[in-house]
Structure 1
Amino acid sequence: MRLLQLFPALTVKNYRIFWITQWVALIGFWLQLTAQQWLVYTMTDSAFLLGLLSACQFAPSLLFTLFTGFWIDRHNKRKILLGTQCTYIAQAALLGLLLWTGNETYLWILFFAFFVGSIDAFDMPARMAFMPELVGKKALHSAISLNSANFNLTRMIGPLLAAFLLNYISYSSIFFLNALSLIPIVIAYTRMNVNSVVEEKPESHPLKEIREGLLQAHKNPVIFKNLIAAGLVSGLILNLGTYGPLFADRVLHAGINGFGSILFAAGTGSMICGVLSAMASRQFSRKFIFGNAIACGLTLMAVSHVSFQIPALTIFGILGFSLTLFLINCNASIQMASPKEYLGRIMGLYTFVFLGSAPFGSLLVSTIIEFIGTSMGLLVVGALEIGLLSIFARPDEKK
């Protein structure tokens, strides 16, 4: 029990059940994502078509999250999450069945990528809005940190496990395993004793409710400026998949193994940050969060002219730590500042900004690197992030 007391969120029984089952579910998620990417690459031998796969999975976040937010505010969040997990199981099983029967095509895989992204558009904002109900606001920071540690540790394990398993079992078996991995969390949601009260509200037009959520976010400087910072960091710094392969190949001259090492180093830094942050329950100031966002840009600038692998991996580990420290506290700060009746809409807006900025940021980063080179490009991207943050997201002096 003394170990549990180090992590405030784990003292809550319902969260412990959620956290343990998330381990299994997230490993299944990374198994499917890795297998799906390799499958498309082997089917098409095209970097563009592989990128289109990712675009199809992120597109629903741009299309739907502003609308799903107000719907989440009107419904029981635990039941929404129970529904999304069951739908995840259905898509994984159907995709596995498609491959098992030998009817897979690239277009079918694109369809299922869009299908998963559509479920994400409901699941991600609902899950974030559910956390305060699950653990209470005092343990919210700890819960978000543990969720981040879970995500980053399974991101390190899942792809390696998928690569190992694909030597012995089929792609369809990987997708069936993902479906099975979701069963424990479905059972957990059915047994959680969470009083997810939904206040009765008069019927109003969805666009009016969305507008009210946007106005609430805009007039609250904590929410508004943190949303801007989240979009800038996500779009310019978090795109390791865009600049990581180029840095590994052109600067470190280490090829795909170098890129894997970069992801592992960043993931290790992220995981360490998640575990350490989970021990704290304090609410950090806006200046602290802003400083972490600036640190992400400075770290990218620092690595831009390092050409030796060990120092570069060390800096990428620091970058992973800084990114996770920013994202944990930014997310927690937005949730703490959001009125309960608007939380679903504001988390939908957070999802829209966080995921929606990634494709545009990736295009901008790749264009800058293409024109001025990898090292100089990363230096410019880091400086650009710092400049934009200073103009649009700097906290008020009195804060």
Structure 2
Amino acid sequence: MTSMFRALQHPNYRLWAAGALVSNVGTWMQRVAQDWLVLTQLTNHDGAAVGITTGLQFLPILLLGPYAGLLGDRLDKRKLLFATQTAMGLLALVQGVLVLSGAAQLWHIYAIALLLGVASAFDAPPRQAFVSELVGRADVPNAVALNSASFNLARLAGPGVAGVLIGLIGTGWVFMLNAATFLGVLFSLTRLRVDLLHRTPPLPRGKGQIMAGVRYVRTEPRILLILVMAGLVGTFTLNFQVTNALMAADVFHTGADAYGFLGSIQAIGTLGGALLAARRKQPRLTLLVGAAVGLGVATIVAAAMPSYLSYAVVLVFVGVSALTFLNSANTIVQLTTEPQYRGRVLALYMAVIQGGTPIGAPLVGWLANAVGTRWAVLAGGLAALVAGAVGVWALARWGEGTFREQLRAVWAERRAARAASALASPGTSDAGSPSAVPGSPSAHDAEPAPQPPTVPARDTAAEALSPAPQRGPSLRLPRRPPATTTGSQPAVAPRN
């Protein structure tokens, strides 16, 4: 098993990934069909209506996300995911029946979008945290990257297939096909080997546990930085579901197949970014900041493209930078969070990355109606640049050098790692090396290569995820012990 696909050595992860891929293809087909239904059949190319539909799907995670994360820490994640995936499949079925019967109205689509958002709010935090239970801590970065690759492989196929099917059989049957694809992920959940799961002890019931998660985040300055950057990008930049539909229909005057093709083209970039991420053992905050800047620049360039073809080409670069940003943020949050807080912290992360969409998507649609679609795309690019600037300011304020110095440190570290790898004894795989995730046990039983003196896993992982120290005194914010409340579970070591 190569280092790029090492998470697939786990039988449970292989089964989960296969089911998720089938379901994700259907989800992307539904997204394209739903936007096209609202834009061309239920309204007269109303960008605001498309934005409201998208926003309603993400509003519940902003309101319910913290409680959903707490449930993810308390309950069996596999059983919780079975319930949420079943609910989303049934809603897709209802939507298909309404459209095929000719009874669908705009308010029906709004209501179903809101209910889908509720199910997704309870699905997202445990689904993100479930990765660590499928593979264990050592292979979490690779599993997160492969999840992104699977999602974007589905995104590559789904929109294009949806565009063709809308023209051939209509949007109603696309919704029905999406309902059927949920059977794939439900089957995989029933076939998982429970004895191979790396479970975290469930959190006992108690008062103030949601606020305990919030207070924990407040003690982690790097997680706070990620939440701020993710909030800006998620609210104002990652609205391509709206902007691509408007660019296809109103700027380039194309049809549903061309709109679906834009999603597939962008997915080429995101899939490439996911495969590159799968090769990394550890993401760094420097990479996160650079990806935000790259996303801003690529989005601004896309807004200026004069033709459909040139716009589609630039979307590849938008996809690479967007995926690199999201994958780095997700992995850093997972690896720097204590296991008993992981569900609640990931819920906060999902709330800011997706919960801003109810504000951003309608705003983008309104801006497109008011001043033009290109200006709406441009505004998203500027928001990503602001997020990157916030990251550069924060890292420099913490005494970790300028952005240029941080990049030099990253390349110096990589050269040193290659030199060390060349001197290492043969036969040690990436997945089995103790350096796969600092502070975590080896994935194999082979004798590990000699390592420097170790420190506790928590601090080692945090150091690996932070940029290399620069000259001058360190100004890093001190780490305080997380606040506790009655009923909250004491810290425990990560389990493999």
Shorter-chain TM range is: 0.7 to 0.9
For residue 128 of structure 1, report the CA deviation from its aligned partner. 0.2
Residues 109-144 of structure 1, C-alpha deviations (whole Å, 9 max, x = no match): 322221111110011111001111111222222222
Partner in structure 2 of residue 34 of structure 1: 32
Q: Residue type matched to 2:115 in 1? A: F
Matches within 5 A, 1:1-399: 2=1, 6-40=4-38, 41-45=40-44, 47=46, 48-99=48-99, 103-169=103-169, 171-194=171-194, 195=197, 197=199, 199=201, 201-205=203-207, 208-244=208-244, 254-256=252-254, 262-280=262-280, 282-307=281-306, 312-362=311-361, 382-391=381-390, 394-395=394-395, 396-398=398-400, 399=467
For residue 168 of structure 1, report the CA deviation from its aligned partner. 4.5
| % identical aligned pairs | 29
Give SS of 1:349's match: helix
| Aligned-partner Cα distance in 2 for 1:171–1:138 | 43
| Aligned-partner Cα distance in 1 for 2:248–2:88 | 34
Work out whether residues 148 and 327 of structure 2, in 8 Å CA contact, stay in contact via their aligned partners in 1. Answer: yes
| Aligned-partner Cα distance in 1 for 2:363–2:50 | 19
Work out whether residues 248 and 255 of structure 1, in 8 Å CA contact, stay in contact via their aligned partners in 2. Answer: yes
| Aligned-partner Cα distance in 1 for 2:30–2:377 | 31
Unaligned stretches of 5+ residues in structure 1: none
For residue 327 of structure 1, report the CA deviation from its aligned partner. 0.8
Which stretch shifts more, 256-265 or 34-43? 256-265
Which stretch shifts more, 282-291 or 73-82? 282-291
Give SS of 1:7's match: helix
Which stretch shifts more, 308-317 or 218-227? 308-317
For residue 262 of structure 1, report the CA deviation from its aligned partner. 4.5
Give SS of 1:397's match: coil
Unaligned stretches of 5+ residues in structure 2: 401-466, 468-496
Which stretch shifts more, 170-179 or 75-84? 170-179
| Aligned-partner Cα distance in 2 for 1:198–1:141 | 18
Give SS of 1:283's match: coil
For residue 360 of structure 1, report the CA deviation from its aligned partner. 2.8
Partner in structure 1 of residue 472 of structure 2: none
Return the index of the structure with the highest Cα Rg.
2
Residues 323-365 of structure 1, C-alpha deviations (whole Å, 9 max, x = no match): 1111111110001011111111111111110112234334555
Give SS of 1:338's match: coil
Residues 252-285 of structure 1, C-alpha deviations (whole Å, 9 max, x = no match): x6333676565443221111111232233x1122
For residue 90 of structure 1, report the CA deviation from its aligned partner. 2.4
Give SS of 2:355's match: helix
| Aligned-partner Cα distance in 1 for 2:286–2:160 | 38
Q: Residue type matched to 2:7 in 1? A: A
Distance 1:184 1:388, change over 3 A: closer
TM-score between the two structures when normalised by the length of structure 2: 0.70
Q: Residue type matched to 1:256 in 2? A: T
Work out whether residues 75 and 198 of structure 1, in 8 Å CA contact, stay in contact via their aligned partners in 2. Answer: no
TM-score between the two structures when normalised by the length of structure 1: 0.86
Work out whether residues 159 and 261 of structure 2, in 8 Å CA contact, stay in contact via their aligned partners in 1. Answer: no
